[in-house]
Structure 1
Amino acid sequence: MDLAETDLTQRLDAAALTGMQFAVWAGRIGDKPAVIDPDGTAHSFAAVNANANRLVRLLRARGLGVGDSVALVCSNRVEFVEVLAATLRCGMRLTPVNWHLSADEISYIIRDCEARAVIAEARVGAVPEAVAGCPGLSVKLAVGGAIEGFEDYAAALESFDGADIADPVLGNGMMYTSGTTGRPKGVYRAVPVVTPFATYLGRAYEPGASIQMCAGPAYHAAPLAFDVRAAMAAGAALVFIDRWDSEGVLRTISERGVTHFHLVPIMFQRLLALPDAVKARYPIDHVKFIVHGAAPCPPEVKRAMIDWFGPVLTEYYAGSEGGAGFFIDSHEWLKKPGSVGKRPALLGVRILDEAGRDLPNGEAGAIYHQLPPGGGFSYFKDEAKTAASRVDDYFSMGDVGYFDEDDYLFLTGRNAETIISGGVNIYPQEIDNELVKHPAVADSATVGVPHDEWGEQVRAVILLKDGHEPGDALADEILAFARANLPGFKVPRGVDFVSDLPRSEAGKIQRGKVRAPYWEGRARQI
């Protein structure tokens, strides 16, 4: 199929304005696989599109309309795509929820995003407790099994028409991103982002032939954008992976003929760690486009991936909040190893010191991205947090870096609070808030310490109450307490006991001082 076909490109760009791109592909390649579930079950473009239309009609029949919010608590499976396709075309706002969170955290996001509908998967055991504290839900649909108080998703859709709706309205999305303290906040845009079809022309997609793999959780911003949304817009089949298994992922890439995928650096490291004999069993010369980001990639790891897969890697630097966005392909990166890309032409990027003064090239400081005219974001229902991230019409995601003499950006660190472990942002205050509930803990300062595979690993630095003696047994007890009260990825991997924890005059923990000894001689310190 000729992607440069003028009338097709024009149809897709027009359809993007009403959220109907997927419907265009359903009408053109409806019998082709659109989604392949982790168990191998294939679902055609026509079938997925019909269910999206049915869901729109169901939501409207229950009283939901343009601007209403839908929360989705679902793993990598076809219903995720159906719900996304439905909300994109009916003017509703979709919030995908990290289904690994605790019941309290899931409940908070459902309430905070003002959801009127929740579509949740039965495998997520926290759902019943989470929705118990969410009044005002007009729709509760259960995917993949029964949930008490929920309707079965498939059965509920059966009575509705699957034909394309006649009055589509472009929907929106709102991802949640945590700060270093307090509850997570929604990244809200009054104007939905519309990606021109030309973007996909540059990524070597062939509708009906390209195969996109989603190996990360679809609720995360990057897999959602680069895997799920990309496949839906470009007419590519989407192969979902449910859990990471290095050889299994490589086998999928090879045997499914995967052409496009997004990974984070730790996934690169795990693939590269496979024995040479295993790698040799799986041809990968059909791969055309690999995009990566979310965490800094060690140059030697990236070089090894380019040597293996060829110069098909493109790195990005951006965030849920948006901004200019940096991209660098393999050829350019090999000339500027370690860079995340050249200064964008359309939107400005500033490097500021602590006093808010612009720094010259070569000096590291806080990175501030220019907001697009009329298309900026705000933190949902949090004007103070929104204002705190801004300098004029620029905002910061808390990263630190510098431009070199050729205007290429290099990241040197992040703000003093955030831990990035395996490409996932972890905010230590949330962990400290739980650890101090343990009867033996007087104070806690969780930090990220160096880890060769994950980049950083979560470690709790604990000040004990009088009468408690440090030791392995108490450390194990505190870790067990953490496991009972936190999602697994937030649980510290170790505990160190100290006789004092530094705090500022304002009472804030001086986490940089706590962290510094672990990073002595390493590049993490800022």
Structure 2
Amino acid sequence: MLIGDIATNNARRYPQKRALVDGQRSHTWSQVQERACRLANFMRGRGLTRGDRVMVIARNCIEWPEISFGLAKVGLVAVPVNIRLAPDEVAHIREDSGAQAAIVHAEQLTKFVGELADMRMVMGIDARRTIGDTDLVTDYETALSHAWSSTPNVEMTPDDLAVILYTSGTTGRAKGVMHTHRGLLYQAADTNLVTEANRSDVMLATTPFFTAGGMVRTVSWLYLGQTMVIHQKFDPQAVIDEIERSGITFTTFIPTMLHRTLAILEDGPPRDMSSLRRISYGSAPVPPGLARKAMDLLGCDLQQRYGLTECGGQATILTPQDHRDILAGRDSIATSCGQETPMCVIRVVDENGDDVPAGTVGEIVIASPANAIGYWNRPEQTAEAFRPDGLRTGDLGYLDEDNYLHITGRKTDMIISGGFNVYPAEIERVIAHHQDVDLVAVVGVPDPEWGETPVAVVIPKAHVTDHATLTDELTALCRSELAGYKQPRRFEYRREFPLGPAGKILKREIADDLRSMAPQT
């Protein structure tokens, strides 16, 4: 089976079932299959062949899944691009990937037209209505209407490349992570197993399609013939309305999204959330108090996941039962991100690559058939990260006696203060338990005496106005639960954190901000 076969199989099984919904637009599975085939045939007609790369620069829209399936049907490699990038960053991805064509939403065409001008082909989603006909851009709908709807016949294998996902590039230029059809389908099977998915699920997509999570979601959330409802961006009121209107059963949040949704439910009139069976979240643990509130107000299960672009997006699961156990007092797993999923083997190793005892911090290694196969055009970095015994993640953590994985931070996030290793997640866990704290991020800043020192940046609850009192309470809390060298040297307060496209807190930006300004507290 290949990625493009998902549309083929579901069109055969459920031809008239709703597959995709985006506002007033809706496509059945037979329409998704037909449109994906038309796109595939149009691309072949323009001279693109198996293995050619195609950039996809688009906000969330109903076209995303059919583009993924259509490119896959003829062996083209999708290169999703973050729409928030600067033109120079897009130019780097184009040059590095060697992309021959691009599919661009009209909203992004003006911003990136200079980087696309001499490509073999540029297709514009919604282009005719918004910018009219041009020599450079072919309107997407016009192209589909002129292409054959028959299923293309192209010889491919499961080990062909399907997607190149570019990382955020926090340590330099972004690098492309290569995923095959085989790996993505393993991830889809793994995801459906741990989420207990079924074909009657109605999934709500609000996070970006151009991320690793978004691309895996396209495969896994439609693998069984589910229905996907698409929102252009996250809006908590719109999410609540959609759950009630469309009978949403499953969605993905990050903790900040969960906060905002619960605030509306807590302060507003009663809403019918009874269809919602599970919310999956990542990027950071949810404090027990927030988890209890979510389960009470939403009436659904929670699951946490851990993963990264190089492993296909998911490697562990903290199950709904784990969440219930935490609320019942099982504190030992409250800081964990769960146990390995059925497809994964997770180890923690020292600098020599040897397994470390339970409770000992080391580098997390993931062995999985869903892992990527390497970095595009970067053999040395591929050899360093993708080893025969598994993916070296660059994440630090430990496995406890029950094989639950606890993340202590990135190698690059670790703070070395006075010669001691300080893991931000340890400090964040303590501070996050304070009743007046919404979110916290701990970063290291230069210190003339200790080399580096931890600083805690806190988003307090909305009702908190006395930061001085909160600082005193947090200082006392940290002194009672953390070693002296782990104490934050100061507390800073913010209303929001800088977030990446997948919703992860950008600690590097926070640290840079702290280094450039005087302390606020």
**Normalising to structure 2: TM-score of the pair?**
0.73
Q: Provide the C-alpha distance between the structure 1 equivalents of 2:167 and 2:142, rounded to a whole number of angstroms.
A: 34
Could you list the per-position Cα deviations for residues 231-282 of structure 1 after superposition, in whole angstroms to 9, with x for gaps in the alignment? Answer: 321212211111222112111111111111111111111112225242x432
1:254 match: 244
- What is the 5 A alignment of 1:114-513? 114-124=98-108, 125-132=110-117, 135=118, 137-146=119-128, 149-167=136-154, 169=156, 172-189=162-179, 192-193=182-183, 194-195=185-186, 200=192, 203-207=195-199, 209-226=200-217, 228-278=218-268, 280-310=269-299, 312-322=301-311, 325-335=315-325, 336-343=333-340, 347-354=344-351, 356-370=353-367, 372=369, 376-389=372-385, 393-417=389-413, 450-452=457-459, 495-496=513-514
Going from structure 1 to structure 2, the CA distance change for 1:178 and 1:393 (only over 3 Å counts) comes to farther
1:321, 1:70 → 2: CA distance?
20
Q: 1:110 aligns with which of 94, 109, 115?
A: 94
CA distance in 2, matches of 1:343, 1:197: 14
Amino acid at match of 2:401: E
Deviations along 1:83-129, one digit per CA (max 9) or x if unpaired, are: 11102222111111111111111121122222111000110132202
Give me the whole-angstrom Cα distance separating, in 2, the residues matched to 1:206 and 1:353: 40
- Whether the 8 Å CA contact 2:254–2:284 is kept in 1: the answer is yes
- Secondary structure at the aligned position of 1:31 is classed as coil
Helix, strand or coil: the match of 2:307? Answer: strand
- Looking at structure 1, the residues matched to 397 and 190 of structure 2 have their Cα atoms a distance apart, in angstroms, of 30
Contact 1:368 1:396 in 2 (8 A): yes
Q: Which residue of 2 aligns with 1:457?
A: none
- Give 1:312 deviation, angstroms: 2.2
The 3-state SS of whatever aligns with 1:273 is: helix
Cα deviation code 1:20-77 (max 9, x no counterpart): 121222233222322211x332222222221111111111111112111111001111
Are 1:311 and 1:330, in contact at CA under 8 Å, matched by a contact in 2?
no
- The one-character-per-residue Cα deviations of 1:138-185 (angstroms, maximum 9, x if unpaired) are 221011225651111111221112233345746611111134422111
Q: Report the Cα distance in structure 2 between the residues aligned to 1:340 and 1:77, rounded to whole angstroms.
A: 31
- The one-letter code of the counterpart of 2:317 is F
Q: Distance in 2 between matches of 1:242 and 1:201?
A: 28
| Cα distance change on mapping 1:198 and 1:326 into 2, 3 Å | closer
Counterpart CA distance in 2 for 1:404 and 1:203 is 23
Superposed CA offset, 1:305-352 (max 9, x none): 233334522221111111781112110233332321224576432323
- The correspondence for 2:14, drawn from 23, 29, 36, is 29
Amino acid aligned to 1:384: E
Give 3-state SS (helix, strand or coil) of 1:51's partner.
Answer: helix
Q: Name the CA shift for 1:260/1:145 in 2 (closer, same or farther; >3 Å).
A: same
| Alpha-carbon distance, 1:293 to partner | 1.4
**Cα pair distance change 1:351/1:281, threshold 3 Å:** same
Residue 160 of structure 1: SS of its match in structure 2? coil
The AA in structure 1 aligned to 2:339 is K
CA-CA distance at 1:382 after TM superposition: 1.1
Q: Secondary structure at the match of 2:142?
A: helix
User: Secondary structure at the residue paired with 1:156?
Assistant: helix
Q: 1:321 aligns to what SS in structure 2?
A: helix
CA contact (8 A) 1:53 1:161 kept: yes
Cα separation, 1, equivalents of 2:3 and 2:318: 31
Alpha-carbon shift at residue 366 of structure 1 (Å): 2.1
- What secondary structure is seen at the aligned counterpart in 1 of 2:304? strand
Segments of structure 2 that go 5 or more residues without pairing to the other structure are 326-332, 415-423, 426-437, 445-451, 462-505
- Match of 2:69, SS state, is helix
Residue 243 of structure 1 aligns to which amino acid in structure 2? K
- Matching residue of 1:40: 24
In structure 1, the residue corresponding to 2:335 is in which secondary structure? coil
- Secondary structure of the residue that 1:234 maps to in structure 2? coil
The 8 Å contact of residues 358 and 398 in structure 2, kept in 1 or not, is answered as: yes
* Structure 1 unmatched runs, 5+: 1-15, 429-444, 455-488, 500-513, 521-526
